[in-house]
């Protein structure tokens, strides 16, 4: 075989020089045979003997050899080491010229050749881009899309494959295809050629690539992609095909318009069927399919319109089915069920309905099952759902009576920051405006001790911020001397002083109000902590800073007046230029600030 090949290559070099087409044909046949026998070896020989640079002249549009030459290039370019040499040999411009041919075999082999040269090859793609190849192929696909003859289906599959190899993992080339209008064309193909398995697979892979790009979502949303994908999904029996469709659905479903289209096209029912079929499966693929379907379900609920459509006033069959996942024995379904509830709980009406229909109990039972088993993602999801449900004021007392805070406190020992973060947020939502609950939790030394510890969690800003906010909330909502004492004894005061210097105004304000209550309820006990935390200096800085919001200035002055009853703090106030700063604030544009400045100035003058 090797000798025949060398012989053929030598002949080809001679024949191509005098364009003797019969002997060229024979050589080409020999080359194709050698490539079929051992592609890599034959390709290496072709490269060694310098045959590639001869091929452009053999790619004449009218020549009968052209399809064979293009076929040889397609075969050779299956090898990674041959793609750059194909570009260097100048094969791309004549191949792109051949895309204007009317001969179906020429188009087929040319499409294959260009597609293979572009595969994972930066040089190949750049050369095709410069020669304008993608535009011609996109136009071919558009004009051929209605034709359902088998030969045409094959050509469309090759062309789609070529565009996919051309743009794969390359954002700028994908954006170029999108601007050429490739997406609506491919969506049409999917509908018209749904019986053609290779072509639909190629379209799906192309969608998967393009859907990752944000700019594609708008174009997809203006087509009937949702309907076509759901139709295709329903037909599938093979798991691999379903997976391919899932891979397109996931990035598309990140877009809210498409979420709603998918819900309206009936995707949810398909997903529920997948869950029902795989929930008891123990094979790896069952577990993987269950996860994909339930994750996608949760993703669809992230859109406000799609979520509300599926909620149907709490009567929706989808909503009911998803609720039944929470008590399931399957962790993945428990997780998806809890996340779905968290997503349904995005407006007051839904939250109130869900609390009234006993969902809280289901979540508490789920959390109880995970105190010891400790599946962190399930804990996190269930706490997220409870936190959202606790937002409407009417739900707070109902949830507290149901024992939510007791179950949540069982997770205080968790060392997982995401769980700590949600736990803190849930408790903070629950005690908002609930004085008794704030009093009860605020006098729990174990809770306060843990909060103080987490106030120092510098590696986890979220946990640190939420701990500070809960510490402040316990004082603000209880207004209780016992809570204040528990916080002082637990060394919490210094953290509230630090919180007053936060970059977030809301946190500064919450800290100042809590510190004001501490000063009002037990200044004697807090005095030492106020001094060591440099409270007076912090307040001076907040009042002097022009960027401080009016409410920060107002609460800082209230606090200055409150600490004047302590001798050491009074001395510190006298030692700084508070009178100057406060008298300037008397002309502040905010009337409340200006009024408080007058009162504070009187207090400072009387006591200086």
| CA–CA dist 31, 381 (Å, integer) | 62
pLDDT of 240 reads 86
pLDDT of residue 27: 83
Residues 6+ apart with CB under 8 A from 278: 286, 287, 289, 290, 293
* Percentage, residues of the chain above pLDDT 70: 96
Q: Is the pLDDT of residue 13 over 80?
A: no
Per-residue tokens: 140: 């071919």
Lowest mean pLDDT among 2-16, 93-107, 185-199, 575-589: 2-16
Taking alpha carbons only, the member of 185, 168, 265 closest to residue 219 is 185
Cα–Cα–Cα angle for 150, 156, 160, rounded to 5 degrees: 150
Which residue's structure tokens are 């109130």? Answer: 352
Predicted confidence (pLDDT) at residue 346 exceeds the cutoff of 90 = yes
In this predicted structure, the answer to whether residue 20 has a pLDDT above a threshold of 60 is no
Binned at pLDDT 50, 70 and 90, residue 29 comes out as: confident
Structure tokens at 352: 């109130």
Residue 141 CB partners (closer than 8 Å, separation 6+): 156, 159, 160, 163, 182, 185, 186, 189
Cα–Cα distance for residue pair 60/200, rounded to 1 Å: 33
Report d(CA 511, CA 533) in Å as an integer. 13
Closest-CA residue to 87 (of 79, 75, 77, 72): 77
Query: DSSP state, 357?
Result: T
C-alpha of 203 from chain center: 24
Mean pLDDT of 567-586: 90
Rounded mean pLDDT, 198-221: 90
233-249 pLDDT per residue, tens: 998 888 888 999 999 99
| 7-14 long-range Cβ contacts below 8 angstroms, 24+ apart | 8/34, 9/45, 9/46, 9/49, 9/51, 10/49, 12/51, 12/54, 13/49, 13/50, 13/51, 13/54
Report the alpha-carbon distance of residue 594 to residue 599 in Å, rounded.
Answer: 9
Output the six-digit token pair for 369.
């099952």
The angle subtended at Cα 347 by Cα 346 and Cα 352, nearest 5°, is: 110
* Residue 280 pLDDT exceeds 70: yes
Helices (H) and strands (E) in the chain, counts: 40, 0
Lowest mean pLDDT among 52-61, 176-185, 219-228, 432-441: 52-61
- Whether 446 contacts 412, CB under 8 Å: yes
The pLDDT value given to residue 28: 85
Long-range contacts (CB closer than 8 Å, 24 or more residues apart) made by 187-191: 187/220, 187/223, 187/224, 187/225, 187/228, 188/145, 189/141, 189/145, 189/156, 189/160, 190/225, 190/228, 190/229, 190/232, 191/224, 191/228, 191/231
Give the three-state DSSP class for 101: coil
Assess whether pLDDT exceeds 90 at residue 61.
no
- List pLDDT tens digits, range 517-567: 999 999 999 999 999 999 999 999 999 998 899 999 999 999 999 999 999
Structure confidence at residue 215 (pLDDT): 86
pLDDT at 296 over 70: yes
For residues 416 and 424, what is the distance between their CA atoms, to the nearest angstrom? 12
What HEC string does 466-487 produce? HHHHHHHHHHHHHCCHHHHHHH
Asked if residues 325 and 336 have their Cβ atoms less than 8 Å apart, the reply is yes
CA nearest neighbour of 86 among 42, 49, 51 = 51
DSSP-assigned letter for residue 52: G
pLDDT of residue 425: 96
pLDDT at 373: 66
Q: How far apart are CA 113 and CA 10, in angstroms?
A: 23
pLDDT mean across residues, the chain: 91
Cα–Cα distance measured from residue 22 to residue 300, given in angstroms and rounded to the nearest whole number: 63
Tell me the C-alpha distance between 241 and 200, whole Å: 10
Burial of 272 (0-12, 13-18, 19+ CB in 10 A): middle
pLDDT of 199: 92
> Which pair of structure tokens corresponds to residue 510?
């919450």
Give the helix, strand, coil percentages of the chain, each rounded to 5: 80, 0, 20
pTM of the predicted model as reported, rounded to 2 decimal places:
0.83
Lowest mean pLDDT among 370-374, 395-399, 437-441: 370-374
SS (H, E, C) 386-423: HHHHCCCHHHHHHHHHCCHHHHHHHHHHCCCHHHHHHH
- Report how far residue 41's alpha carbon sits from residue 255's, in angstroms, rounded to the nearest whole number: 48
- pLDDT for 528 equals 96
Q: What is the mean pLDDT of residues 256-264?
A: 94
b or e along 132-166 (b: 16 or more beta carbons within 10 Å of the residue's beta carbon)? Answer: ebbebbbebbbebbeeeeeebbbbbbbbbbbbbbb
Question: Is it the case that residue 17 has pLDDT exceeding 60?
Answer: no
Query: pLDDT confidence of 58, banded at 50, 70, 90?
Result: confident
- Percent over 90 (pLDDT), the chain: 76
Predicted confidence (pLDDT) at residue 374 exceeds the cutoff of 90:
no
473-515 tens-digit pLDDT: 999 999 999 999 999 999 999 999 999 999 999 999 999 999 9
Q: Helices 182-192 and 197-210, interaxial angle, to 10°?
A: 150
At residue 5, the pLDDT reads 63
More confident position, 427 or 315: 427
List the structure tokens of 333.
Answer: 């379904």
Task: Considering only CA atoms, give the Rg of the chain.
Answer: 36
Which secondary structure element, helix H or strand E, spans residue 375, and what is its range? none
CA distances from 121 to 47, 118, 126 (A): 18, 5, 9
Q: According to the model, what pLDDT value does residue 14 have?
A: 55
Picking from 35, 146, 150, the residue whose alpha carbon sits closest to that of residue 104 is 150
Cα–Cα distance measured from residue 113 to residue 94, given in angstroms and rounded to the nearest whole number: 11
């Amino acid at each position: 075989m090797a000798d025949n090949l060398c012989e053929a290559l030598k002949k080809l070099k001679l024949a191509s020089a005098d364009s003797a087409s019969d002997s060229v044909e024979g050589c080409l046949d020999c080359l194709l045979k050698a490539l079929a026998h051992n592609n890599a070896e034959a390709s290496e020989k072709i490269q060694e003997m310098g045959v590639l640079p001869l091929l452009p002249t053999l790619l004449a549009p009218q020549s009968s050899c052209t399809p064979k030459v293009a076929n040889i290039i397609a075969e050779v370019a299956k090898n990674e080491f041959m793609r750059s040499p194909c570009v260097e040999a100048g094969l791309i411009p004549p191949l792109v010229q051949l895309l204007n041919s009317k001969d179906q075999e020429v188009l087929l082999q040319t499409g294959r050749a260009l597609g293979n040269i572009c595969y994972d090859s930066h040089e190949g793609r750049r050369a095709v881009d410069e020669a304008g190849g993608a535009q011609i192929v996109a136009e071919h696909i558009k004009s051929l899309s209605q034709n359902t003859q088998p030969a045409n289906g094959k050509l469309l599959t090759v062309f789609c494959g070529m565009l996919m190899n051309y743009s794969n993992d390359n954002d700028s080339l994908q954006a170029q295809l999108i601007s050429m209008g490739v997406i609506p064309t491919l969506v049409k193909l999917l509908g018209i050629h749904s019986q053609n398995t290779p072509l639909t697979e190629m379209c799906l892979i192309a969608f998967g690539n393009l859907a990752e790009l944000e700019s594609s979502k708008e174009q997809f949303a203006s087509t009937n992609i949702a309907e076509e994908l759901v139709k295709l999904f329903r037909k599938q029996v093979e798991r691999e095909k379903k997976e391919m469709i899932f891979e397109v659905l996931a990035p598309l479903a990140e877009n809210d318009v498409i979420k709603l289209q998918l819900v309206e096209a009936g995707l949810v029912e398909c997903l529920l069927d997948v869950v029902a079929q795989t929930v008891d499966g123990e094979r790896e693929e069952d577990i993987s399919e269950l996860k994909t379907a339930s994750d996608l379900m949760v993703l669809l609920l992230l859109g406000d319109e799609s979520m509300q459509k599926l909620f149907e006033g709490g009567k929706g069959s989808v909503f009911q089915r998803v609720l039944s996942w929470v008590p399931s024995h399957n962790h993945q379904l428990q997780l998806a069920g809890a996340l779905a509830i968290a997503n349904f709980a995005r407006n007051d009406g839904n939250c109130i309905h869900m609390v009234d229909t006993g969902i809280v109990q289901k979540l508490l039972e789920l959390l109880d099952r995970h105190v010891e088993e400790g599946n962190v993602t399930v804990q996190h999801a269930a706490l997220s759902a409870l936190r959202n449900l606790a937002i409407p004021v009417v739900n707070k007392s109902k949830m507290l009576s149901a024992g939510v805070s007791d179950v949540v406190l069982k997770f205080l020992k968790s060392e997982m920051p995401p769980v700590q973060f949600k736990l803190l947020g849930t408790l903070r939502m629950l005690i908002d405006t609930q004085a008794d609950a704030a009093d009860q939790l605020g006098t729990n030394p174990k809770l306060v001790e843990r909060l103080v510890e987490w106030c120092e969690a510098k590696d986890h800003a979220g946990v640190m911020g939420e701990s500070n906010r809960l510490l402040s909330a316990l004082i603000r909502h209880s207004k209780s001397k016992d809570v204040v004492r528990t916080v002082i004894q637990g060394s919490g005061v210094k953290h509230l002083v630090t919180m007053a210097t936060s970059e977030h105004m809301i946190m500064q304000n919450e800290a100042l109000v809590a510190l004001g209550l501490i000063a009002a309820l037990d200044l004697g006990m807090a005095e030492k902590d106020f001094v060591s935390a440099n409270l007076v200096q912090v307040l001076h800085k907040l009042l002097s800073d022009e960027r401080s919001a009016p409410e920060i200035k107002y609460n800082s002055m209230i606090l200055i007046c409150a600490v004047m009853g302590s001798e050491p703090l009074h001395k510190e106030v006298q030692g700084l230029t508070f009178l100057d700063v406060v008298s300037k604030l008397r002309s502040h544009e905010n009337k409340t600030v200006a009024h408080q400045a007058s009162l504070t100035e009187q207090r400072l003058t009387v006591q200086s």
